[in-house]
Amino acid sequence: MGKTDIEEERIIDKDLEHLRLNKEETFELFIRVSNGLLKHKVMGKDEILQHLHQLVRDPEAYLRQKHGKFKNLAEKVISLQKEGLMPRFEKTIPEVSSNMRDFPVFGREHIEAGAFAQMNTAISLPVSVAGALMPDAHQGYGLPIGGVLATEANTIIPYAVGVDIACRMCLSIFDLPAYTVDDEKDKLKRMLEEHTVFGMGGTTKKHFDTSLFDKKEWKETALIRSLRDKAYAQLGTSGTGNHFVEWGELNIPQGELEGVPEGRYLALLSHSGSRGFGGNVANHYSSLAMKKVTLPKEAKHLAWLDLNSEEGQEYWIAMNLAGDYASANHHEIHNKIAMALGLDPVLRIENHHNFAWKEQLLDGTEVMVHRKGATPAGKGVLGIIPGSMSTPGFVVRGKGNEESINSASHGAGRLMSRNVAFKTLKRDLVEAELRSKNITLIGSDLDEAPMVYKDIHSVMAAQVDLVEVLAEFQPRIVKMANPKERPED
């Protein structure tokens, strides 16, 4: 196997010309720090250049980061600006658009500078209409995870939807007391082991319901047809990273939840998406979009497709099919486990958080709303916002806040990258945390430890204007991918 892309890439003077680093020693410092990050695989070249682009425009933001990898560069920029040896940039992206728009931010104190940089770029696109950052936001590719972007109604950005199209949550509530998770622990654990499959190449031969594959959309395009067999084999499986299936205790504190009286119940919660099908669709149409729309380096992953074009229509069909497929994946898992339990759920709640919807803003403007790692929170809409493997998740009802474009966070949000987690976290401390919460873990590794996530209670406090909490879910028996199945950051 050859070297990885990160090992082969280097940042050179030419990459930094647009930053106006007019002193040779400053160039050397930027290149030294950047290539050090590449060498140690902390992040990729495009991600580093995105940070540098924002850093020279807003160096103070990088001084406020607790674990700032670029803090010394920010200090150098501020020093040079004070001496008049480096220009102060406007905090806009004129290369993309001269019409910079403001966007609301929820939980600003919880959000890293890189996410602001990406959202600034996204909101400056000529097709952008409005945007917002959720309190779990952190840097991703293209649109930040936790970013919401409304574009003109006839446009769609594949990378603003995300690679795992229609990644979603699903919760089944059973009419069994919460203490069942302790009394029947071995039985429930065995159900997870027997009826869930994780991993990049994970497949299953036993299906509960394959009627989804009768849909005519599976024959609509050459790409979809080529992926059908793979999708069929992966129906009812989960991916790697933060995907999970877990038993837990659901507390409905007062009143009722969609006809389920207040009380403490046994519940099953899952998080996964459209598997290899969605990933292949995302990569194919993102590549097409980038060939059709030329954007600056920092914005290239935000290339869009025109819905009136052949490619745009193909992506729209494939994205919506991926949404149906992701839902069917969850239903397979939940139905198989319910059958093993011998009991149908009294209520099932689910929602996408990597998708695009045709919607209207308050003033009647028709838009395409991209929610990448953000939960739909229109008025009265139910959703699920998980924490980590040791902290609660929440069943919520949307308040229809127009400022957030009817959205909320999709979880707690990461505090540290996977690489940093492996380098800094101690396994015995993670195990002690799980024991203290009486949590049984199957699979996973340090990169998904509770410590890599923001405090879910702080995140929820930052969005009280966006959602109402109806119930709280505490994980107890958690299954994730085998530790060797490590996704790239």
The residues annotated as belonging to the active site are 410
Secondary structure class of 368 (helix, strand, coil): strand
Residue 105 burial (CB < 10 Å; 0-12/13-18/19+)? buried
- Measured between its terminal Cα atoms, the distance across the chain in Å is 20
Tokens of 474: 């505490």
Q: How far apart are CA 389 and CA 440, in angstroms?
A: 10
Q: Are 164 and 185 in contact (CB under 8 A)?
A: no
Residue 402 CA: distances (Å) to CA of 264, 407, 460: 33, 8, 18
Tokens of 387: 């924490």
Q: Are 354 and 282 in contact (CB under 8 A)?
A: no
Q: How far apart are CA 316 and CA 296, in angstroms?
A: 25
Q: Are 347 and 294 in contact (CB under 8 A)?
A: no
Q: How far apart are CA 27 and CA 12, in angstroms?
A: 9
Q: How does 244-281 read in b/e, with b if 16+ C-beta sit within 10 Å?
A: bbbbbbbbbeeeebeebeeebbbbbbbbbbbbbbbbbb
Q: How far apart are CA 236 and CA 326, in angstroms?
A: 9
The three state secondary structure string of 227-240 is: HHHHHHHHCCCECC
Beta-carbon contacts of 84 under 8 Å, excluding residues fewer than 6 positions away, are none
Alpha helices in 180-249 (DSSP H): 180-183, 185-195, 222-234
Q: Are 303 and 157 in contact (CB under 8 A)?
A: yes
Tokens of 427: 């396994």
Q: How far apart are CA 95 and CA 269, in angstroms?
A: 44
Beta-carbon contacts of 312 under 8 Å, excluding residues fewer than 6 positions away, are 154, 155, 156, 305, 306
